[in-house]
Amino acid sequence: AATAVLGTGLLAVALLGGGAAIAADPITLKLGYSLPPTSHYGVGADAFAKALAEKTDGKYVVEMFPSNALGGEREMIEGAQFGTIDLVVTSTGPVGNFVPDTLTFDIPFLFRDYAHARGVLDGEIGQAVLDKFPERGLIALAWGENGFRHLTNNKVAVTEPEDVKGLKIRTMQNDVHMRAFTTLGALPTPMAFPEVFTAMQQGTIDGQENPIPVIVSGNFAQVQKYLSLTGHVYSPALFIMAPSRWDELSDAEKTAFKEAAKIGADAMRKQVETFEADGIAKLEAAGMTVVEHPDGARFAEALAPAYAEYEKRFDPALIKRIREWQ
Ligand code: PAF
């Protein structure tokens, strides 16, 4: 592996294992993401970098900027639009502000399980959304995965939708999610991820929602007492690329980038499964009270007014097609 210490003080690792050579004059690409290097995003980004090096004979070296080193997800996506960041691994959280078609996937309780979500995203419905990115000044290489989101807070063991009333919950900068929490009577507070830990520590918010791997790797047990396994929404991730970089690639290189991103996405999904397998036990051991079976059916029922709005805003036939996907 080739390593270099960046000006940010971070260790950048260009993974060129598996016998891939570094070209004489490699092109270095900056890749940013919000989670630590050991996270599912880190594992996915490393697998992408390795596959890309192999597929392009070491022409492209990827420098990693994990842990929000290049800013929160919204800022990084803007960076890709401007061409100041080459690649971003991000949740769809803020992406709907750039490419509104992604918002349909952010509807709560849309996907039954991982197989359902992955099947839809990897099929023609997911591809049709990836195809919308260029007209919004971005390139989407592949869907990755953040995971099903669960609720944590410091006030109450949430089992019923009524328990959420009055809770100040940090959401992503995503109005589909915010609408859902408002409908439940919570006070959604959109906030960039880098600010969330301190906000929980200082009590400016009561809680937040994220997949188990994020709750574990973010050490949220230090500042949150209750975890409810609401699984209220699936959180897709994306490999995004700056169009300015993309336009420089040959057709064969474009294919290599997409294939490498798919390899990265598969590694990311595997890592989500690995972290989920022991994550809940870890959080309990760290002192969190876990509500394993909150009343999901009642949460979905309580969201009826929000669903009525989503049906008006998005294509109801598409929502139905996604729900009925087998
Ligand atoms: O909560 C968020 O903002 C996202 O889930 C995170 C943790 C940045 C991962 O994409």
The C-alpha angle with vertex 122 and arms to 77 and 80, in degrees rounded to 5, equals 15
22 pLDDT above the threshold of 90: no
Whether the CB-CB separation of 65 and 30 falls below 8 Å is answered with yes
pLDDT at 35: 97
Using the predicted structure, report yes or no on whether residue 13 has a pLDDT greater than 60.
Answer: no
**Is residue 315 over pLDDT 70?**
yes
54 Rama class: left (phi>0) / alpha (psi -120 to 50) / beta = alpha
Kindly state the tokens that stand for 82: 């401007």
Q: Which atom of ligand 1 is nearest to the CA of 34?
A: 8
- Summarised one tens digit per residue, pLDDT across range 47-62 is 999 999 999 999 999 9
Spacing, Cα 163 to ligand 1 middle (Å): 24
| Best mutation site among 73, 181, 219, 268 for ligand 1 pocket (most ligand atoms within 8 Å of CB) | 73
Percent share of the chain, pLDDT over 70: 94
170 CA closest ligand 1 atom index: 1
Q: What are 65's two structure tokens? A: 């900027």
Residue 7, pLDDT score: 34
Give the model's pLDDT for residue 239.
99
Rounded to whole angstroms, the Cα distance separating 59 from 190 reads 40
Ligand 1 atom 10, closest CA: 91
**For the complex shown, is ipTM > 0.95?**
yes
Q: Residue 53 carries which side chain, given as an amino acid letter?
A: A
Q: What is the mean pLDDT of residues 166-190?
A: 98
Hey, which of 95, 105, 171, 172 would you mutate to test ligand 1's pocket, going by the most ligand atoms within 8 Å of its Cβ? 172
Q: How far is the CA of 179 from the centre of ligand 1 (A)?
A: 18
